[in-house]
Amino acid sequence: MFDIIKKTLLTGIGLAALTKEKVEELTKELIKKGEISEKEGKEFLDDLLQKSEQARKDLETKVEDTVHRVLKKIDLATKKDIEKLEEKIKYLEKKGTANE
């Protein structure tokens, strides 16, 4: 389940990268037309990239928190729970073999 959500998140990040490319194209076009200076274009892109990265980090944190809450609510066994059970099974198998 976590993998599905992670893939969805990564797809969103990919779309953000595509959007970044479009913004870069638009900025270059505005510079070319003389509507903004190269300095203004660079500042705009830098600001956008910084805000985009922060938004990506915030979204990733929120998604991870939500996934963990959902998994906790549906009471699935964790990897740690399964490892404990495997250890217990091995112990019981050894104990059973020793008693034979």
* Chain segment 46-83, per-residue pLDDT in tens: 887 787 788 778 888 988 898 888 878 888 888 999 99
Kindly provide the b/e burial profile for residues 11-24, where b requires at least 16 CB atoms within 10 angstroms of the residue's own CB: eeeeeeeeeeeeee
| pLDDT above 80: residue 22 | no
CA distances from 81 to 76, 93, 94 (A): 9, 18, 20
Give me the chain's average pLDDT, please: 80
* 12-21, 41-50, 57-66: least confident range: 12-21
- The count of domains in the chain is 1
If DSSP codes are grouped into helix, strand and coil, which group holds residue 67? Answer: helix
Contact 63, 5 (CB under 8 A): yes
Domain extent for 39: 2-99
pLDDT of 2: 45
